Amino acid sequence: MKKPEKILLVEDDLELLKALREHLKGSGLKIKFAATSAEALKIASSAGELDLLLTDVLLPDLNGIELAKKLLARQPGLKVAFMSGYLRPSLADPEVPEAAPTPFLQKPFSGKTLTVFIRKCLQGEAPEDHDQTTSQLFE
């Protein structure tokens, strides 16, 4: 029997985080939720190997890109995806090692869209319905 993938979802909007948690409850996915980067780092250090980090780009403490870099340093094979209501080109970081564009999910999105997006990220597929990527953030 295949072990369920472990996902860390980081979203600082507490109402949205609550809605995401509620929607994903019955999805069969094993998801840990965090409202800050500090909380995410703490969860990641105790959770063991993660399969996917899905994080908001803009967070109040450490932005999502910096969070991803920290977690990738600990676990180089970690799959990473970003979500945001908008992008900020000022977050560009040319030092982030990227083999391929990082999947990006534009807010707002439906619960079904989120579930499909997560499953495609876990399978290593480029989510076709969400062809917008954060590659411009890493250029």
pLDDT digits (tens, 9 = 90+) for 18-32: 999 998 888 888 999
Q: What is the CATH number for 26?
A: 3.40.50.2300
Q: Say if 100 falls within a structural domain.
A: yes
Note the pLDDT of residue 48. 87
Q: Say if 87 falls within a structural domain.
A: yes
pTM: 0.81
Question: Under a CB-based contact definition with an 8 Å cutoff, are residues 98 and 69 in contact?
Answer: no
Query: How many domains would you assign to the chain?
Result: 1
Domain that holds residue 10: 6-137
Q: Say if 83 falls within a structural domain.
A: yes
d(CA 108, CA 13): 12
Q: Say if 1 falls within a structural domain.
A: no
* 129: its two tokens: 């319905």
